[in-house]
Amino acid sequence: MTSHRTCGDCTLCCRLIPVESMGKLANQKCKHQSHKGCTIYADRPTDCRVWSCGWLRGYDVGARPDRSHAIVDDQMPSSVAIVEDGKRTPFYALQVWCDPRHPDAHEDPTLRAWLAEECAKRRALVIVRYSSSEGFVLFPPWTSPDGKWTARDSNVLPEGDPRVISDHRELGIPVL
């Protein structure tokens, strides 16, 4: 998908998205972030260089992230394992990072329409995240007999926990 969008003065990802190579945690302002953008932009780490949000990539997810208060992250594959009666069923999951100061940002109608379409196409769920350990699973309309979105609290586990599926290949679903 080709996009002519630019970040402009949006730096929401610089706060919400974790950057492992710099030891930056989710929902923690990057030490290189200023009101004008990234102070090390020309020399930023590879993690930052190769990543871009769904809005920047041209997806119809609503307003720019600093205005919508939500970031669609479909480049960092994630998954959710549903455990029922001891049986574990993994699902591919799209991630939406919401600014904790705007916890309902994921309810934007344009964002929800895009998520519904993508989740149906990919047979995916949505993880709405506020930090590395705070969030919930959002079940899209394709999972519900009444065709409505359903939010479920989850036991979001810290990364590295052996109970977390961290490799999308376990799901047998290619990343698009």
Give the phi and the psi of residue 110 in degrees, each rounded to 5: -70, -45
Spatial CB neighbours of 7, under 8 Å, sequence gap ≥ 6: 37, 56
Region of residue 69 (left: phi > 0; alpha: psi -120 to 50; beta: else): left
- Over residues 66-103, the pLDDT tens digits come to 999 999 998 776 878 777 777 888 888 999 999 999 99
Q: Tell me: pLDDT of 172 over 70.
A: no
Contact between residue 27 and residue 100 where contact means Cβ atoms under 8 Å apart = yes
Report the mean per-residue pLDDT for the chain: 83
The pTM score is: 0.82
Domain definitions of the chain by residue range: 12-171
pLDDT, position 87: 81
